[in-house]
Amino acid sequence: MKRKAWQAGALLIAAIAMFFLSRPDDAAPETPTAAASRPSTPSGDLPQPRPAPTRHPLAESAATLNDPSTTADDDISILSLIISQYGKILGGNPVGENEEITSALMGDNPKRLAFLPAKGAFLDSSGRLTDRWGTPYFFHALSGSKMEIISAGPDRKHRTGDDITSG
């Protein structure tokens, strides 16, 4: 009886040894000469380029921003709706100055969702959202979910009587 138990134990130890000896050694350090002799190839671990943003249906409405057939009030209403939808989908207003907010609305956000087209009369050369007179909008976060949008109006100066504001 002892002999069978001893044989079973030896067989179990041999099976365990075979298991560990037959596995490839992933942890073995690579010798410098082996690494140097291989040609350099791009690694599969390199970061992949981010996919293009998905266009939200409101991006079509944004194409009418600063269009002569619409009004400045229409532009503010469209932007208010876009920012409201952004907040509902992404959990809060886009944050930052005009450039950062515009970038977030164009798809540089965690969901890669674009609420604005990539080009249009509503963008200046610095990538800022501008009113129909070419002045960048001022965005004032009233809370995490409410944003006041201010156009400088026809005189192109903020904080004057002809400013156009949301809400």
What would the mean pLDDT of 92-104 be, rounded to a whole number?
97
Tell me the three-class secondary structure of the chain, residue by residue: CHHHHHHHHHHHHHHHHHHHHHCCCCCCCCCHHHHHHCCCCCCCCCCCCCCCCEECCHHHHHCCCCCCCCCHHHHHHHHHHHHHHHHHHHCCCCCCCHHHHHHHHCCCCCCCEECCCCCCCCECCCCCEECCCCCECEEEECCCCCEEEEECCCCCCCCCCCCEECC
pLDDT at 12: 47
Euclidean distance between CA atoms 94 and 146, whole angstroms: 10
* Residue given tokens 């400088």 in the structure block: 152
Placement of tokens 């959202």 in the chain: 129
Nearest to 146 by CA among 101, 91, 74, 84: 84
Say yes or no to pLDDT of 5 above 80.
Answer: no
The mean per-residue pLDDT over the stretch 97-112 comes to: 97
φ and ψ of 50, to 5 deg: -70, 140
> Which pLDDT value is given to residue 2?
62
The predicted structure's pLDDT at residue 36: 54
pLDDT (0 to 100) of residue 17: 46
What pLDDT, on the 0 to 100 scale, is given for residue 49? 78
Q: What b/e string do you get for 21-34 counting C-beta neighbours within 10 Å, with b at 16 or more?
A: eeeeeeeeeeeeee
pLDDT on residue 91: 96
pLDDT at position 167 is: 72
Q: Which residue type, as a one-letter code, is found at position 118?
A: A
pLDDT tens digits for range 24-83:
555 455 555 555 555 555 556 677 777 788 999 889 989 999 999 999 999 999 999 999
Residue 4: per-residue pLDDT: 59
Closest by CA to 144, choosing from 81, 79, 84, is 84
* pLDDT at site 29: 52
Q: What is the pLDDT of residue 52?
A: 85
Averaged pLDDT for residues 118-122: 93
Quote the pLDDT of residue 137: 98
